[in-house]
């Protein structure tokens, strides 16, 4: 199909994109088709270091491909089988990242729960995490989307010993109804998913769980949707990412009978979004008055924005200094729709044991602080 599009000179497959300049040079001398079948690819194609788009966080791809073949998903056909990146390459990249001051890494891929399954060596995701946890300079390790089958007692026990792991986990749910999950070919039941959330909440203090949910999947009856809705109410995810099912040509689900109308999908999507916003509001209210550690990432409309370890978004208004890439204790004072707003109160000891109050305070707060210090300096 692409060959018929006027103006296309070169077609490259997923395997070849890292060498695009080389293929452009080849094209100057000889026009040739360079596409290879991604389904035949056995090893991860190394693309080198990540291009950093943030000063505080780097996204590290650790694997490609997927072997799950969910009935609605085209990704295994488009991206091929599971190929894991060599552990030494991942550790080298993260070590280099730490040297330039990046404090947080997010591990991502098509299906990171499958990391290592294609290796001859007995290496899995938890082995990789234990090695990353040792890297000096990295203070937070955040995981991309996880499949609930990965969340076993052994996995959670080992994970809980890693002090840099963020207590925020994004779980790929898709449906809270076991019958719907069967048609999706998700390979777990709603009860198994629920048990995974209980393991995480038992091990991690103040953990936030987020999830993906598909509404209006082929054949989803009103009763099945109601089962999913009640399941979401029971688990109380911090945030739910809602997707209206859309047919992907070439997948099994595209041939299923009883497709849901767009109007019903829209109605169900709206209901789940409203539930998600209501639960998130409850969570956020519980943080007001608390002091949380925030890694600040950027300045937006006069506010510095960042996230806690459990992925609560925080805004602080401060014009006295640059807060980017700093991890600060912040007292929560107010709440907006999805963001908690606070005034920072940081105290930093200098070499002469002088405590510097680095942010603006009103007169009463200032007087209270001055009673507790012998020498002081106000950063104007």
The residue extents of the domains of the chain are: 1-36, 46-286, 288-345, 350-380
Asked if residue 359 has pLDDT above 60, the reply is: no
Backbone angles phi, psi at 271, to 5 degrees: -65, -45
CATH number of this structure's domain 46-286, picked from the four choices 3.80.30.20, 3.30.1330.10, 3.40.50.360, 3.90.1010.10: 3.80.30.20
The more confident residue out of 290 and 25 is 290
Architecture of domain 288-345: Beta Barrel (2.40)
- Looking at residue 368, its pLDDT comes to 41
The pLDDT value recorded for residue 35 is 62
Q: Which of 59, 71, 66, 76 is nearest to 111 (CA)?
A: 66
On whether the CB atoms of residues 68 and 111 are closer than 8 A, the answer is yes
Instruction: Give the pLDDT of residue 4.
Output: 83
Average pLDDT in the 6-19 region?
Answer: 79
Question: Which DSSP state fits 168?
Answer: E
Confidence grade of residue 31 (pLDDT, cut at 50, 70, 90): low
- Give me the long-range contacts of 183-188 (CB less than 8 A, separation at least 24): 183/71, 183/217, 183/218, 183/219, 183/253, 183/256, 184/70, 184/71, 184/72, 184/214, 184/217, 184/253, 185/68, 185/69, 185/70, 185/71, 185/252, 186/70, 187/68, 187/149, 188/147, 188/148, 188/149
pLDDT in the model for residue 360: 36
When pLDDT is averaged across residues 13-20 and rounded to a whole number, the result is 77
Say whether pLDDT at 309 is over 90.
yes
Write down the mean pLDDT value for the chain.
85
* DSSP-assigned letters across all residues of 175-234: -S-HHHHHHHT-SS-HHHHHHHHHHHHHHSTT-EEEEEEEES-TT--HHHHHHHHHHHHH
Choose the weakest-confidence range: 52-56, 130-134, 302-306: 52-56
Residue 379 near residue 357 (C-beta atoms within 8 A): yes
C-alpha span between 99 and 47 (Å, rounded):
20
Contacts of 228 (CB under 8 A, 6+ apart): 175, 176, 177, 180, 213, 215
Question: What is residue 297's DSSP assignment?
Answer: E
CA distance 363 to 380: 14
Cα separation, 193 vs 174, whole angstroms: 11
3-state secondary structure of 42: coil
Pick from 98, 20, 15, 117: nearest CA to 60: 98
% the chain with pLDDT above 90: 65
pLDDT at 193 over 90: yes
The confidence band for 40, taking pLDDT boundaries of 50, 70 and 90, is: low
State the pLDDT confidence band at 17, using cuts at 50, 70 and 90.
confident
Report the distance separating Cα 63 and Cα 145, nearest Å.
13
């Amino acid at each position: 199909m692409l060959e018929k599009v006027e103006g296309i000179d070169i077609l490259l497959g997923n395997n070849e994109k890292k060498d695009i300049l080389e293929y452009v040079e080849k094209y100057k001398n000889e026009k040739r088709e360079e596409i290879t079948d991604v389904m035949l690819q056995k090893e991860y194609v190394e693309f080198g270091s990540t291009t950093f788009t943030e000063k505080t966080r780097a996204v590290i791809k650790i694997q490609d491909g997927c072997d799950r073949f969910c009935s609605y998903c085209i990704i295994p056909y488009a991206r091929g089988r599971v190929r894991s990146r060599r552990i030494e390459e991942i550790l080298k990249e993260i070590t280099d990242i730490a040297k330039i001051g990046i404090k947080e890494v997010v591990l991502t891929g098509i299906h990171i729960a499958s990391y290592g399954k294609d290796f001859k060596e007995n290496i899995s995701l938890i082995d990789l995490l234990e090695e990353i946890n040792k890297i000096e300079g990295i203070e937070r390790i955040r995981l991309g989307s996880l499949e609930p089958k990965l969340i076993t007692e052994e996995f959670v026990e080992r994970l809980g010993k890693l002090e840099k792991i963020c207590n925020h986990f994004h779980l790929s749910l898709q449906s809270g109804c076991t019958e719907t999950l069967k048609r999706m070919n998700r390979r777990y039941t709603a009860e198994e998913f629920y048990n995974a959330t209980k393991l995480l909440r038992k091990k991690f203090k103040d953990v936030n769980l987020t999830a993906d949910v598909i509404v209006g999947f082929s054949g989803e009856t009103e009763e099945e949707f109601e089962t999913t809705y009640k399941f979401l109410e029971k688990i109380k995810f911090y945030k739910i990412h809602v997707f209206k099912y859309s047919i992907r040509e070439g997948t099994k689900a595209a041939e299923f009978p009883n497709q849901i109308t767009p109007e019903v999908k829209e109605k169900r999507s709206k209901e789940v979004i409203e539930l998600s916003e209501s639960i998130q509001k409850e969570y956020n209210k519980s943080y007001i008055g608390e002091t949380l550690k925030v890694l600040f990432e950027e300045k937006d409309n006069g506010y510095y924005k960042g996230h806690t370890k459990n992925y609560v978004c925080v805004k602080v208004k401060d014009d006295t200094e640059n807060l980017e890439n700093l991890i600060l204790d912040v007292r929560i004072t107010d709440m907006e729709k999805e963001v908690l707003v606070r005034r920072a109160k940081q105290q930093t000891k200098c070499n002469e044991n002088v405590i510097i109050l680095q942010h603006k305070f009103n007169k009463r707060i200032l007087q209270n602080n001055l009673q507790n210090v012998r020498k002081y300096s106000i950063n104007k």
